A and B are shown apart, each in its own frame.
Chain A
Amino acid sequence: MHPYRYHRPGSLAEAEEVLAGDGDPRPLAGGMSLIPVMKHRLAAPSDLVDLAAIGGLTGITVEPATLGIRAMTRHAAVAASPSVRERIPALAALAGGIGDPLVRNRGTIGGSLANNDPAACYPSAVLALDAEIVTAGRRIPADNFFLGLFETALEPGELIVEVRFPVPAAASYRKFPNPASRFSVVGVFVARLADGAVRVAVTGAGPCVFRVKAFERALAASFAPGALADLSVAADGLTSDIHGSAAYRAHLIGVLAEDAVADCA
């Protein structure tokens, strides 16, 4: 690890001030992604702005048709939340399946989304549920948030404060875990929204989370596993790595999507 200055601001405004400063300041949430890259000396921020002491950045709010999760809410808290379990059980299950207990007790939803790891779980939920990313200054729809490999619509220094999930009619997340890290080799989030729209988001399989429109159309016509029987995702452009070839990942997307649809029945 290289030397850096550590800050622990008590308010968003203070945090934003440090983040707007010179050098290469970075927000620190759970540190589950950022600290390991710093230890490997692959990242060397000049300043770490710990978000942990900022009031109002944790917790889950329940509105009639929406669930709001504040950015610093830990995965373990989402997994255990009765409100999440009742309204979007697939989201609670997703959070409960991230990494291991240590990671879940430290890692946050805001950190996960800002990081946009290609194998992270949350991005698929945000995209499939058509959630909104709330920052200090704006609201970013899911479809505009995830731009590419570790790339999001966030401006430098812009902080996620909340994620707002519309409560769906039905949803399920199916993940095939990487045996080493427990990230997804492929994760498929299927959601039937309150208005009847169906969205299918895939993580782990490519450089960035993506929707499978062909599956969505078929499922909008008939929301049953059989609807996907004749469909497949092309392997072109998908990830090939030591945990699975592109062809295998393409195949898994179909398998997991079918299973997720079956879960929703």
Chain B
Amino acid sequence: MYFGQRLTRREDDKFLKGRGRFVDDIEPAGTAHIAFVRSPHAHARIRGIDAAPARALPGVLRVLTAADWQAAGLGALTCVHPMPFSDGRPMNEELRPALASGKVHHVGDVVAAVVAEDRYAALDGADAVAVDYEALPAVTDIARSLDEDAPVLHQRFGSNLVFEIERGDRAATAAVFDAAHHVVALTLDTHRVAGCPLEPRAYLSRFDEATEDITLWATSQTPHYLRRWLAKYALGVPEHKLRVISPDVGGGFGLKTHFAVEVSTVVWASILLGRPVKWTSTRAEALMSDAQARDHHTRARMAFDRDGRILALEVDTIAALGAYLSNFAPSIPGNSYPQTVTGLYTTPNLHLRVRGAYTNTVPIDAYRGSGRPEATFVNERLLENGARELGIDVAEIRRRNLIPAEAFPYTTPVGRAYDCGDPPALFDKLLEIAGYEGLRAEQRRLGDRGVRMGIGIACFLDKSGTGSSRNLASRGGLHGGYESAIVRIHSDGRATVFVGSHSHGQGHDTTFCQIAADRLGLPIEDIALVEGDTGSIPFGNGTWGSRSLSVGGVAIMQAADRVIDKARRLAAHMLECAEEDLLYENAVFSVRGTDRLLGFADVADAAYHGAVLPADGSMEPGLEETVFYEPPDTNDPQAMHLAVVLVEPRSGKVTVRDYFTADDCGNIVNPLIVEGQVVGGLAQGLGQALMERVVYDGGAAGQLFSGTLMDYALPRASDMPGVRMTFQETPAPSNPLGVKGGSETGTIGAPAAIGNAVVDALWDLGVRHVRQPFTPDAVWHSLEDAAG
């Protein structure tokens, strides 16, 4: 059995030796390069574009603007997850334009594209395009986006409102608050962050003039989506003439799922010029064009009884969606956020209002955790403040509120059912590895010496798997939730597995082949995995929402099982026995109670030779199976974090000293990989909590201040605390592998756990909240405010 083994990742060897093959490594002869002219304004009218000076430059092949796009009759990028108003009206939808026309709406908005013989000529050309702008006042601050006097981005909607939804019961919740023993109210903003994968986005499109086939190499987590979107929505090219290849990809975290603004222009230019065209993002472009994340302004209240039981939660959020709607954007505050906001507690009453809003900022979309970090921050910060105000220990108050194991499947006040779990047991495991009582004693000892230590906890729910397609559609989705796989046995008995998901750091080559090897009874060395090529893989929904294993993994398992079923039938025929008499072990069929054997490779050989198949034609030659697996439901991973911080009140500096995690992500195929995913997510969660922040000037100019990595602070190895992990494996009921998503909990819990720890360290000084991220400056200002 490979299932459950800590295999080191097979793919790492090539990456560690620099032998990965990324989009930018590929450069066919005659490749032209594209550079984009980007708006320096957050909001401006385009009075005119003069491309003549650019066209006159040596090496410049073509300059493209919105006028060309419209003249060519091209379509639009798309939003595949709309979110209607609660009363059923459609949302106010403004899609991201490939090339801005009329107005620009954020710094970095694309105004023109220059195609040239090389990158330098393209950049010179882009500099030479003269755009006449009339600057308009901008709004970048989400808290101000719906004010009466806020500049409106898209006039036809009359305001910046995209949608407004309410969940739960307003009147019942208000009544509970009125009668409650204790109420905590806080403003709980989650700031905007950028995804920052190591490899920036890149696209290379080649148009073959002989066949009129287009091959697009793209940094994509979802190559089939990209092909469908380009074909159906943007360019109108036939799908069978477009092949999307996503080779090695260096990180994605969500933002390589989205229909990015540049890609359709790259493909279009290659068709126009009849030659390969390439664009590789710089880091500065990434920070003004890659979809960004979070950016919520929230006021929330929690009501308690005298024993600290949560009676009700009330949440009022304005969620930024950026200047235009990116693919999945509305569903993040519209679905993920409300569905997880009561977390792992038995909160009986909820009222939640979410208003999505436009601001003059880079479009928002899914980024590791999407919606759950914002939700968890709200729920967990309120709970710990409540505990302290009621004089109840923060661990004890959780024991009183966690959903008990016997309550599963558990239905929340928004009607969502959580599948399975045992939160109280998971919580005990967390406190045990952390040595909670010992930490509290240490906190008191250090406190006596003037050292401020804080302990913070977060308990929360992830939400993965995303299926079924019907479920997704009922929540507005215009895309599927299934996954495809082919298991192809070659005539020598070795296998290639094709799957519609895409690994860009998750270790699929190892995990997926562990599953296939177990089901096929083959050594893992005899199995190869192919992902990321629409030319060889059936339509897949790609990798996002922690869906790959619980959906794609099951597709592989089922295809492998069907292969073995057929091999067994053929083996029975060849050995002239009944199928029930066959044993299959270590790639050998044997007839029970005899010494007759047949190797799997011999069966494969026979299947491809074809001659020994049953003469009645009851069996087709070949040995390969295709599965499209539609999951019946999503799954609900759960996790709990405990952070220990040291806060220096003089400077406001926060150091995360220790970190403890307890995850229930169902059955674990490869603990090593899951641990890596937990720590990797944690680094990003810690980054969000302590330092990462996209900053706009907030005034009428709307300039972007965090435009390079000299100002956008990513965490480094030295910022990471020691991490101790523990796991509880409650098998997911909705899939036969019993697996759940396991890669997003780090980003979900860290801001809440670290935030709670910082407040714990400073509570006696009067600090009740610190705005995120908990930078020294922010902590110091909270202390100043508390001191009055």
Contact = CB atoms under 8 A, between A and B. Distances in A.
B326 interface: no
Given A41-B123, A242-B695, A252-B651, A176 B776 contact: yes
Given A179-B713, A248-B652, 15 more contacts: A41-B127, A178-B713, A180-B691, A180-B710, A181-B709, A243-B711, A243-B775, A243-B777, A244-B775, A244-B776, A244-B777, A248-B776, A248-B777, A248-B781, A251-B780
Given A242-B705, A243-B777, A244-B776, A181 B711 contact: yes
Interchain residue pairs A-B with the least CB separation, the first 10: A180-B713, A179-B713, A181-B710, A244-B777, A179-B691, A242-B695, A248-B777, A255-B650, A242-B705, A180-B711
27 contacts: A3-B120, A40-B284, A40-B708, A41-B123, A178-B710, A179-B690, A180-B710, A180-B711, A180-B713, A180-B714, A181-B709, A181-B710, A181-B711, A241-B705, A242-B693, A242-B706, A242-B711, A243-B775, A243-B777, A244-B776, A247-B781, A247-B784, A248-B652, A248-B777, A251-B780, A252-B651, A255-B650
Nearest to A258: B650
Contacts of B705: 241-242
Nearest to A180: B713
A245 interface: yes
Interface string B264-287: 000000000000000000001000
Interface string B216-258: 0000000000000000000000000000000000000000000
Contacts of B124: 2
Which of the listed residues A178, A179, A248, A251 has the most CB atoms from chain B within 10 Å of its own CB? A179
Interface in A145-198: 176, 178-181, 183
Contacts of B120: 1, 3
Which of the listed residues A2, A181, A243, A247 has the most CB atoms from chain B within 10 Å of its own CB? A243
Interface residues on B, range: 20 to 34
Interface residues on A, range: 20 to 34
Contacts of A255: 650-651
Contacts of A251: 780
B712 interface: yes
A29 to B, nearest CB: 19
B125 to A, nearest CB: 13
A245 B777 contact: yes
A3 B691 CA distance: 37
A252 B784 CA distance: 13
Contacts of A40: 284, 708
B788 to A, nearest CB: 15
A178 B705 CA distance: 14
Contacts of A243: 711, 775, 777
A180 B123 contact: no
Interface string A221-265: 000000000000000000001111101100110010000000000
A102 B706 CA distance: 22
Contacts of A179: 690-691, 713, 775
A176 B709 contact: no
Contacts, number: 53
Interface string B767-788: 0000000011100110010000
Interface in A1-56: 1-3, 40-41
Contacts of B712: 180
**Interface SS majority for chain A:** loop
A3 B652 CA distance: 46
Contacts of A2: 124
Which of the listed residues B651, B776, B777 has the most CB atoms from chain A within 10 Å of its own CB? B777
B714 A248 contact: no
A245 B695 contact: no
Contacts of B653: 176
A114 to B, nearest CB: 19
A167 B272 CA distance: 68
A228 to B, nearest CB: 13
A174 to B, nearest CB: 10
Nearest to B119: A1
A41 to B, nearest CB: 7
Nearest to B773: A179
Which of the listed residues A176, A178, A248 has the most CB atoms from chain B within 10 Å of its own CB? A248
A253 B57 CA distance: 52
B781 A245 contact: yes
Contact of A248 (B284, B690, B780): B780
Nearest to A176: B651
Interface string B299-310: 000000000000
Contacts of B706: 242
Interface string B682-723: 000000001101010000000001101111111000000000
Contacts of B777: 243-245, 248
A185 B413 CA distance: 47
Contacts of A245: 777, 781
Contact of B709 (A3, A180, A241, A252): A180
Contacts of A244: 775-777
Contacts of A252: 651
Nearest to B710: A181
Contacts of A248: 652, 776-777, 780-781
Nearest to A179: B713
A178 B691 CA distance: 10
B461 to A, nearest CB: 30
A3 B705 CA distance: 28
A252 B651 CA distance: 7
Contacts of B780: 248, 251
A122 B708 CA distance: 23
Interface in B707-750: 708-714
Contacts of A242: 693, 695, 705-706, 711
A197 B8 CA distance: 61
Contacts of B781: 245, 247-248
A202 B668 CA distance: 54
Contacts of B714: 180
A56 to B, nearest CB: 33
Contacts of A41: 123, 127
Interface in B641-673: 650-653
Contacts of B708: 40
A51 to B, nearest CB: 24
A177 to B, nearest CB: 10
A129 B15 CA distance: 48
A251 B648 CA distance: 14
Nearest to B284: A40
Nearest to B687: A179
Nearest to B705: A242
A3 B124 CA distance: 11
B717 to A, nearest CB: 11
A68 B728 CA distance: 62
Nearest to B707: A40
Contacts of A1: 120
A181 B707 CA distance: 12
A32 to B, nearest CB: 11
A243 B706 CA distance: 10
A243 B705 CA distance: 11
Contacts of A176: 651, 653, 776
A233 to B, nearest CB: 15
A25 to B, nearest CB: 21
A248 B652 CA distance: 10
Contacts of B776: 176, 244, 248
B747 to A, nearest CB: 18
A248 B711 CA distance: 18
Nearest to A255: B650
A181 B716 CA distance: 11
Contacts of B711: 178, 180-181, 242-243
Nearest to A256: B651
Contacts of B693: 242
B390 to A, nearest CB: 33
B159 to A, nearest CB: 29
Contacts of B651: 176, 252, 255
B726 to A, nearest CB: 30
B171 to A, nearest CB: 43
